[in-house]
Structure 1
C-alpha cells in the first residue's frame, strides 16, 4: 500500500467532495483522513489516501485532471511529533497580528499546531468584531500547560485563552 496526501484548491461547487470520493474509490483508494473548508467562495482540502501500489499512478493522474483545481500530491508518511495533545481556544477583540502573536508563543515553546480554524464575527450585544481561533496542539514533553496559558494570556488584556487536554 502507498500513502498519498492530496491538497486541492479551486472554486467551490456542489458535489466536489462526492466527485473526489468517487475518484478515490474507482482507483481502489481508501479515504483515511481529511480537512476541508470553503473560504471566500473557494474550496480547500487535504486528504490522506491509502492506495495499492499498482493503482497509485492512475489515481495521481486522475486527481491531477480535476477541472478548475490545483492539486498537489505528496507520497509517504512522516512520524508525528510526540507529546500531550491539547485543545486550544483563543478569543479576543479582532485586531491585526493575533495569530502572529499566538504562534510566536507556540514556536518559542516548541509546540506543534495540528489543526487550526479561525473565524471573526460580531459580538452579540456590542457588535464589536471578535476573533476566535480553535486548534489542536502537541505540547512537547517538558512544557507545562500553566506556562503556555500564562504566556498566551500575557499577550493582551482582552485575550481569553481556554486550554483542555484531549
Structure 2
C-alpha cells in the first residue's frame, strides 16, 4: 500500500467532495483523513489516501486531471512524534498577530501542531469580532500543560485558553 497526500484548490461549487470521493474509490483508494473548507469562494482541501501500489499512478494522474483544480500530490511518510495529544482552543478579540503569537509560544516549547482551524465571528451580545483557533497538538515529553497554559494566557488579557487532554 502507498499513502498519497493530495492538496486541491479551485472555485467552489456543489458536488466537489462527491466528485473527489468517487474518483478515489474508482482507483481503489481508501479515504483516510482530510481537511476541507470553502474560503472566499474557493474550495481548499487536503486528503490522505491509501491506495494499492498498482493503482497509485493512475489515481495520481486522475487527480491531476480534475477540471478547474490546482492539485499537488505528495507521497506520505510516517512522522509520529512521541508525546501527549492535546486539543487547544484559543479565543480572543480579533486583532492582528494572534496566530503568530500563539505559534511562537508553541515553537519555544517544541510543540508540534497537528491540526489548526481558525475562524472569526461576532460576539453574541456585543457584536465585537472574536477570533477562535482550534488545534490538535503534540506536547513532547518534558513539557507541562501548566507551562503551556501560563505562557499562552500571558500573551493578552482577553485571550481565553482551553486545553483538553485526548
Normalising by structure 1, report the TM-score: 0.97
Q: Which runs of 5+ in 2 are unaligned?
A: none
- Compute the RMSD of aligned alpha carbons: 0.8
Aligned to 1:9: 9
Partner of 1:145 in structure 2?
Answer: 145
Separation (CA, whole Å) in 2 of partners of 1:5 and 1:133:
24
SS in 2 for 1:58: helix
Question: How far apart, in 2, do the equivalents of 1:127 and 1:22 lie?
Answer: 42
Distance 1:76 1:145 in 2: 30
CA positional deviation for 1:82: 1.3
Aligned length: 166
Partner of 2:114: 114
What is the correspondence of 1:16-165 to structure 2 with a 5 Å cutoff?
16-165=16-165
- 5+ unaligned residues in a row in structure 1: which ranges? none
Deviations 1:23-58 (A, max 9, x none): 111111111111111111111111111111111111
Deviates more, 1:25-34 or 1:61-70: 25-34
| Residues 64-83 of structure 1, C-alpha deviations (whole Å, 9 max, x = no match) | 00011111111132222111
